[in-house]
Every structure is written in C-alpha cells, then in structure tokens.
Amino acid sequence: MAMTMDELTVGQRACVGAITAPKQLKRRLMDMGFTKGVDIEVVKMAPMGDPMEVTLRGYNLCIRKAEARVIELR
C-alpha cells in the first residue's frame, strides 16, 4: 500500500503519485495541480489537526485529511 498525503507530518516533503478518487474529486485535485511527480510539502495543520496546509507549485492550499487520503505518494 502506498503512503497517502494525510499521513505526512508538518515539514515533510513528498512527491505525488496516483490519485484514487471518484472522477469529479480527482479532476478537481488535478486542476489544482496535484499531478503525478509534483513535489508537495506540508506547511501546517489546523488547530484541531484537520485540515492541513500544503504548498505545491509555489502556492499554498488547504485541504481536509479526507481528501488528502486519496492522494498517493511515491
């Protein structure tokens, strides 16, 4: 089983692999720049541990862990 984005901790970097989500969510995430091979870094977690803030392609994005779970890393 590949590691997924929600398992990362603050400050960790990783490289995006496959996205295993229904069509619409997958398209949405890819439109925001989560394509294969992109580097991401976890910037911080929200006060209650969810959602998380990641940086990719030079900008910051916040995303819930439930959505981060569909993004596999490699």
Partner 1 sequence: MQTISLIGNPNCGKTTLFNALTGTTAYVGNWPGVTVEKKEGFWNGYKVLDLPGIYSLSPYSPEEKLSRRYILDERPDLIIDVIDATNLERSLYLTTQLSELGRPVLIVLNMQDLLEKEGITIDEKRLSQMTGCPVVSISASKGIGLDQFKTEVENALEENKGPSCPLFSNFVEKYINNIIEDDYLHAIPEGRQPRWAAIKLLEEDELFLATMPPFPKEFACNLAKAHESLREHYDDDVEAIIIDQRYKVAEHIARASQVKITQKKAFNFDSIATNRFAALPLFVAIMGGVFYLSIGLVGGITTGWLESFFEMLGTNLTILLDSLGVFPLLSGVLTGGIIAGVGAVLTFVPQLFVLFLLLSILEDCGYMARIAFILDRMMRSIGLSGKSIIPLVIGTGCTVPAIMSTRTIEHKKQRELTILVTPFIPCGAKMPIFALMITYFFPGQWYIAPMIYLTGILAVVLTGFIMRAFDRHKEKTVFILELPRYQLPAIKNVWLQTRERTLDFVKKAGTIILLSSVIIYLLSSFSFSLQPVSPEQSMLAMMGRLIAPIFKPLGFGFWQASVALLTGIAAKESIVSTLSVTMGEAGITALFNPASALSFMTFILLSSPCIAAIGAMAKELGSKRKLLFAIVWQTGIAYLAALLVRALVLLIV
Q: Applying CB under 8 A, does 53 fall inside the site for partner 1?
A: yes
Number of residues that bind partner 1 (CB under 8 A): 35
- Residue from 13, 15, 64, 74 binding partner 1 (CB under 8 A): 64
With left for phi above 0 and alpha for psi between -120 and 50, is residue 37 left, alpha or beta?
left
- The span from the first CA to the last CA of the chain, in angstroms, equals 11
> Closest separation between CB of residue 7 and partner 1, Å?
18
Examine residue 44 and tell whether it contacts partner 1 (CB under 8 A).
Answer: yes
User: In the window 11-40, what residues touch partner 1 (CB under 8 A)?
Assistant: 18-19, 23-33, 35-36, 38
User: Which of 2, 1, 3, 16 lies closest to 54, judged by CA?
Assistant: 16
